[in-house]
Amino acid sequence: MWGGMMAAISLKVNGRVHTVDVDPETPLLYVLSDELQLRGPKFGCGLAQCGACTVLLQGQAVRSCVMPVSAVKQKEVTTLEGLGTPEKPDAIQQAFIEEGAAQCGFCLSGVILTAKALLDEHPKASGEQIRDALSNVLCRCFAHTRMMRAIQRYQRGRA
Amino acid sequence: MKREISRREFVKSSGALVVSFSAASFLEPFGMAQGPFDTHRSHVDPEKLDSWLAIASDGTVTAYTGKCDLGQGMFTAQTQLVAEELCVSIDKVKLIQCDTSVTPDQGTTSGSQSTPTNFNMENLAQAAATAREALVGMAAQKLGVPADQFTIENGVVKAKSGRRVSYGELIGDKHFDLRVSSTAKRRSPSDWKVLGKPVPSRDRVALMTGTFEFVHNVHVPGMMHGRVVRPPEIGATVASVDEKSVQHVPGLIKVVARNNFVGVVAEKQWQAEQAARELKVAWKPGPRLPAQKEFYDYMRKQPSRDVMLVDSHDVTEKLKSASRVLKATYLHPYQAHGSMGSSCAVADVQGQHATVWSATQSVYPTQHGISALTGLPLDSVRVIFVRGSGCYGLNAADTVSYDASLLSQAVHKPVRVQLTRHDEFVSENYGSACVIEQQAGFDTNGNIGVWECETWSVSYGDRPGYEKSGNVITGTLAGFAPDTITPRAAAEPAGELRNGSNAVPSYMAGCVDGKCGGTGSIRSERVLTHAVPSPFFTGPLRSPLRLQNTFAHECFMDEISAQIKADPVAYRLRHLRETRMIDVVQAAAKAASWEARPSPKPGTARTGTVTGRGIACVAYEGDNGYAALVAEVEVDQASGRVRPRRFIAAVDCGPISNPDGLRNQIEGGVLQGTSRALGEEITWDDRKVTSIDWQSYNTLPLGIEVPVIESVLINRPEAEATGAGETAITLAAAAIGNAIFDATGARIREVPFTPDRVKAALSARGGETLAAVWNNPNVDRALSGERPDCSPTRT
């Protein structure tokens, strides 16, 4: 059966509560990028295969392109721009800045937030655990070497 | 004068000063006159200094460029260039990229041409040098001191006497009213303060903190959302569109159909996505596709457009008299650009005006395409570049800009179109499949005396350029014709060797009509290329044809050196003449601590995990960059899995603008080349493409054991700048293939080197896995057309 009925939905994003009037089935990504005009999460595949739309949901990395906005409920959403600011970047963003770990940068929500979610929960994660967490995160410019260096830099800084 | 106002408004809104243009340039017919840099002259007259830069009274510099940053670092490098030539700090320079209303027409950002275009003796660099000289002249007049007695420090002109005057005081907010001088003196690399330094990319902080604006983030007031409905099969055409099938979708604005172009517009993105999914379209099937498993044979049988690139007219005779002859055939599949982000554009086409925010690599050509598609006068179309996801040649950025324009025009409102992943995979122009046959003869000393190469590539559509909207899918669907292949026999080569697609191996002298433009020593040579029609759109995936040809040349060179039992590095050096090639090969070998010995590695086991190393090199387009790459790989002989452990690249691109940016390009290129070599391949069935997402099209994710990549940068400050972005990627497949051979003795002549293909090659090891080799008596048989099977690894 076709939904499509609009509903007022409240969600907490980057520390602020927003109310949007959308079909509850709308993917969280579209609410973040169209209704709230956030730039961090991006449409890469719409299939949860690449990671470009990644956000943190109570600290867990999730793919916002396949999550209906109604499923967010009271959980706090953090996007890449909510992690830190250009003036005061988060430590993992700072590590990526210092390593110059990007080319086009379209993939960064997936790379940075997936790594952050893992390392904040498991600061001593092994190389294998890090690789496992990033096993379905893509970067098609293949800035892999710098990104792995940046992730290691962040991990060292946390220790 | 509307356009002048447009630029004026633009520079006002962007915080720069007002720059206007003389009326004369508006009177020229658009697109008719051929301007410099092989592009069409635009209303922004590139001969005028004010077209390129302006200086405000506070001394800040606004520069305008027609070459854009696609993630390859051009924004930073061009900002460095302007700062250097004007002797100001980099923070004083604001660079405006690619906007048909404000920047000069520099054609397309492609082909590793942006650095050569703006850094050599013309264009942006020359404009900045002209401005610097003019400012010193003004200072001389103002202070009454001869021009040669000044120094410049961060935009302040200083006389020896201590008197000084700033750029802002000299020109602030005023026009130069000068022509760009071709004789203005460029700053010597030995004096460089900003260029040549590892400047952090200017976009870095915004990218890492999620504040950078991609085209995907453009929001226009009143913007609707569009989706396209592509033909489900190749060549399918619309029979009927049932608009009623989506009447129930809330927020639907319109179903748009034009010829075979179909799309929907809705108020919200989610509604547009639902409508596109549910819209019932009856399609008439197109022709059946050639079977993928026989496609390389199919290619060879098609009528073709042939080009004889080089012919010394003694190849047949030299092959007959050679001591031994070696033959092999190499196969390369269609591959996707596969941008990380599915393409997106925003268009606002209302009444007689269109504004399009696009990640196109070519704002001016795309302006022409949108004008043709919408029927609006060229003058009424403005295309503004906003960066998209990395594109690597020609992703769907142009075609989605057409999509957005058509949908916006149909609803008279601004429309944002986001392609789906499936759309992106079936909408883009793939890198060409190739068949490359090699044959070489060598003498009793093991020197190659004769080399013949014959290639087949596929073509349909291309970059749309100024005239060919049909070269990408939306243009064709809307009724414009794509470029197709007209069969034609090869003419005798004339003039100097043109090796733009690197079809001619680097080891050939490259002599045509007695003029030699090659980089090697082999003077008996023949290279014949065939272009055949493609069932799929094709385009310039980096590095177009150069990567495929180089895979074949560099693997074949390795096969010959193995046959001769020569060290692959020494054997290459024996046949190279170009010193810049020799230098990169030696530099890479040295940095890799290359052990001189023939391949395969002696005494390696036939089971378990083994290691090996391989080298490849290229003179990109003959003279547009030089690179060598050593790959060290591990091969698990049980699973057939290949794991690169370390790469060492040596690159010479002339004077290095930004060493950090260059390293970033090398590292990304090597790994993208690795992903393509190990797994990437477009697949299809009898009707449609079946590689349509990241499960059906392989790519190496972040979570691999990332190999070490070391870069050796050879800086040549006094040479002309060459391209750098496409050299390393061109070498990856060959270097890895040669390393697999070194490790295992198995030669794989077909990309990608999937585990199954590796295992097949391993189990076929022995005489039959070598390329066909025969001594003199057999040569006649082979040349009569009875060819031995040269691709034993094909499954």
Helix (H) or strand (E) holding B629: strand B626-636
Domain B295-335+431-783, CATH number (from 3.50.50.60, 3.30.365.10, 3.10.400.10, 3.60.70.12): 3.30.365.10
Mean pLDDT of B454-463: 96
Q: What is the pLDDT of residue B704?
A: 96
Which sequence spans correspond to the domains of chain B? 2-199, 215-286+338-427, 295-335+431-783
Inter-chain residue contact A40 with B210, CB threshold 8 Å: yes
- Reported as a pLDDT band with limits 50, 70 and 90, residue A5 is confident
- Reported as a pLDDT band with limits 50, 70 and 90, residue B350 is very high
The predicted model scores a pTM of 0.91
Inter-chain residue contact B216 with A132, CB threshold 8 Å: no
In terms of CATH architecture, what is B215-286+338-427?
Answer: 2-Layer Sandwich (3.30)
pLDDT tens-digit map of B540-555: 999 999 999 999 999 9
Residues of B in contact with A145 (CB under 8 A): 667, 671, 706-709
Inter-chain residue contact B217 with A33, CB threshold 8 Å: yes
Inter-chain residue contact A100 with B250, CB threshold 8 Å: no
Region of poorest pLDDT, from B17-26, B695-704, B724-733: B17-26
More confident residue, B447 or B781: B447
pLDDT at B604 over 90: no
DSSP string, A107-132: THHHHHHHHHHHHHH-TT--HHHHHH
pLDDT at B584 over 50: yes
Mean pLDDT of B691-704: 97
B268 touches chain A (CB under 8 A): yes
Inter-chain residue contact B702 with A93, CB threshold 8 Å: no
- Reported as a pLDDT band with limits 50, 70 and 90, residue B2 is very low
Inter-chain residue contact A37 with B217, CB threshold 8 Å: yes
pLDDT tens-digit map of B243-297: 999 999 999 999 999 999 999 999 999 999 999 999 999 999 999 999 999 999 9
Residues of A in contact with B204 (CB under 8 A): 97, 100, 102
- Reported as a pLDDT band with limits 50, 70 and 90, residue B201 is confident
| Test the B interface: residue of A103, A152, A154 with most B CBs within 10 Å | A103
Residues of B in contact with A50 (CB under 8 A): 340, 694
Q: Residues of chain B with pLDDT > 70: what percent? A: 89
Mean pLDDT of B477-486: 94
Q: What is the pLDDT of residue B774?
A: 53
pLDDT at B29 over 90: no
pLDDT at B84 over 70: yes
Mean pLDDT of B181-186: 92
pLDDT at B784 over 50: no
Q: How far is A132 from chain B (nearest CA, A)?
A: 6
Mean pLDDT of B340-351: 97
Q: What is the pLDDT of residue B775?
A: 53
- Reported as a pLDDT band with limits 50, 70 and 90, residue B101 is confident
Q: Residues of chain B with pLDDT > 90: what percent? A: 77
pLDDT at B3 over 50: no
Single out the residue of A85, A79, A95, A52 nearest to residue B390, CA to CA: A52
pLDDT at B11 over 50: no
Q: What is the pLDDT of residue B120?
A: 66
Mean pLDDT of A61-70: 98
Considering only residues 287 to 346 of chain B, which have any Cβ-Cβ distance to chain A shorter than 8 Å?
Answer: 338-342, 344
Q: What is the pLDDT of residue B147?
A: 85
Mean pLDDT of A50-72: 97
Q: What is the pLDDT of residue B17?
A: 32
**Looking at the partner chain, which of A27, A83, A148 has a beta carbon nearest the beta carbon of B270?**
A27
How many of the other CB atoms lie within 10 Å of CB of B770?
A: 16
More confident residue, B786 or B352: B352
Residues of B in contact with A138 (CB under 8 A): 340, 694, 699, 701-702
Compute the mean pLDDT over every residue in chain B, rounded to the nearest whole number. 89
**Looking at the partner chain, which of A25, A132, A139 has a beta carbon nearest the beta carbon of B340?**
A139
DSSP string, B520-583: BSB-EEEEEEEEEE-SS-B--PSSTTHHHHHHHHHHHHHHHHHHHT--HHHHHHHHB--HHHHH
Q: What is the pLDDT of residue B33?
A: 28
- Assigned token pair, B255: 């179903």
For the complex shown, is ipTM > 0.95?
Answer: yes
Residues 6+ apart with CB under 8 A from B336: B425, B428, B430, B431, B541, B680, B682, B691, B697
**Distances from the Cα of B572 to the Cα of B24, B613, B630, B734, angstroms:** 56, 15, 13, 14
Inter-chain residue contact A93 with B208, CB threshold 8 Å: yes
Give chain A's domains with CATH numbers: 7-80 (3.10.20.30), 83-158 (1.10.150.120)
The CATH code of domain B2-199 reads 3.30.365.10
Preceding amide of B752 cis, omega within 30: yes
More confident residue, B294 or B121: B294
